[in-house]
Structure 1
């Protein structure tokens, strides 16, 4: 098998771009004779003339015109491959912008970032914590963590770990108001609202039965952790992820109910903008976070 003369194709593409053998040679950093020989070698291999040459003018032949775009693609792909290989071989350096939910970010992402920076001292992290949905493309975010029932998106998404959702209140609240036997019973309870999801509805499923409940109560907030003092004080019911409430459940401060009912399929996802080529610093952080949280949102 005869291999293609990639160097000649690349030099042909440079001549086409600069419309001059001399200018192409200068941009590459070689002599004009080297470029001329490479193009002549390609013409001989193809059995066709690529340029009309005069003392004043250089123009593409019909064959050269038809091959110019392909030559440019060959050059661009080779350059991209080399850049990606250099990035992979070099120690990651530069800035990575990260977005994460507030409570989960404080408890788990911030410590993970600290450990990552110890391993990669050349990397800088700009960490934004917010429970609001961030447009990662518009904001220039490289990596985003989201805890949600993720719908179809143009973003690249990696599901890392499931997140169990608990229906919780203080034991004193359940003792005073009664423990619900069915999700529909929650309509008679003071249920705290999460304002980042306006008009949010709590969904439940058990076997073939599905139930929806619209929460209403004395407290609404844009952060789940902010509900905990009112919950522990016996002022109402909340629907919160396991990493926020399991410690208080274990300590007897909160009690979960309706455990035999499944909620929405919530999980921790890692999101990145569309596209396949990413700098080594971003790839390194993605792999680090994926390994750390792949099985649990509560890594130990």
Structure 2
């Protein structure tokens, strides 16, 4: 069997998490996908995949081999890309997904500007807070925020995502300014229910020591819009990403507190399937986002 084809089938199987999903993505039969993987294992003399009836996992040899396969396939695809005149101008349909709030606030205007720059690229954008499997659902890339786990996806950092603690000037005038994270225990704090630990807020001392604070308050919601609205009315303290709170601080509607005790920042990233080669449409879009958001994104300007 063709070795390069077998390597591509192996990579797709690892990305998809099952031979059946790889078969659907590649338009092959399940038996043919299995045959390609077995051929590689027989040639190499090692087992690459552990398979059960419910899931597929990589062996240690499989993980190492996957990295090299991705590199080799990327080189081959890059060579084809350089030889293709069609790809000289970015074009085609770009399917992307992103978190709902970030998409609404910042990605939507970025996409509109991008479409003005690249009239031959069509966009299909899905803003949602559910987890999207970009391989199985056919997306070209996803914009994600957080401390991302290791995976077979490739990640490119677009910029930082700071976590801020904020309150309205009216609230601080009435109840005082917290000087230390532990002071939050006596304040009304709003919990984001979709967070991993809604009522635990994390900070760092100037020396880098981790601090965790148990907060309390009578408002909990899965909507940052609601929490921000309540905070602007002086009802309590809100904790959230700077891409939401930064513009409100810049407008004077909220005030940043505890700036000397920052929370660990998150990453704003683009993720895409694990091959070194990217189509031109994906590459130029990711480059555009890196340039637009950069090391200091606009929502962080002027923050302490």
TM-score of Structure 1 vs Structure 2, range by shorter chain: 0.5 to 0.7
Q: Are 1:268 and 1:297, in contact at CA under 8 Å, matched by a contact in 2?
A: no
Label 1:221 to 1:135 Cα distance change in 2 as closer, same or farther (>3 A).
farther
Structure 1 counterpart of 2:80: 83
Q: RMSD across aligned C-alpha pairs, in angstroms? A: 2.9
Structure 2 counterpart of 1:298: 298
Cα deviations by residue, 1:113-172 (Å, 9 ceiling, x for unpaired): 112222222211111112344332333221222232334333211122223322111122
* Partner Cα separation in structure 2 for residue 291 and residue 196 of structure 1: 30
Structure 2 counterpart of 1:192: 190
Q: Are 2:75 and 2:277, in contact at CA under 8 Å, matched by a contact in 1?
A: no
* Partner Cα separation in structure 2 for residue 296 and residue 225 of structure 1: 23
Cα deviations by residue, 1:253-278 (Å, 9 ceiling, x for unpaired): 21221110021122321211222233
TM-score of the aligned structures, taking structure 1 as reference length: 0.66
Structure 2 counterpart of 1:224: 224
Q: Are 2:221 and 2:227, in contact at CA under 8 Å, matched by a contact in 1?
A: yes
- Which segments of 5 or more consecutive residues in structure 2 lack a partner in the other structure? 5-42, 44-72
* Partner Cα separation in structure 2 for residue 189 and residue 288 of structure 1: 41
Structure 1 residue ranges (4+ consecutive) displaced by more than 6 angstroms after TM superposition? 76-79
Aligned mate of 1:135, from 133, 136, 139: 133
User: Secondary structure at 1:118's aligned position in 2?
Assistant: helix
Cα deviations by residue, 1:45-92 (Å, 9 ceiling, x for unpaired): xxxxxxxxxxxxxxxxxxxxx9xxxxxxxxx99974553221674322
Aligned residues: 228
- Which segments of 5 or more consecutive residues in structure 1 lack a partner in the other structure? 1-9, 14-65, 67-75
* Partner Cα separation in structure 2 for residue 212 and residue 87 of structure 1: 56
* Partner Cα separation in structure 2 for residue 248 and residue 117 of structure 1: 28
* Partner Cα separation in structure 2 for residue 87 and residue 175 of structure 1: 64
2:124 is the counterpart of 1:126: yes
Structure with larger Rg: 1
User: Secondary structure at 2:137's aligned position in 1?
Assistant: coil
Return the offset for 1:195: 2.3
Superposed, which structure 2 residues align to 1:241-252 within 5 Å?
A: 241-252=241-252
Structure 1 counterpart of 2:281: 281
Say which is worse superposed, 212-221 or 93-102, in terms of deviation: 212-221
Label 1:258 to 1:97 Cα distance change in 2 as closer, same or farther (>3 A).
same
TM-score of the aligned structures, taking structure 2 as reference length: 0.66
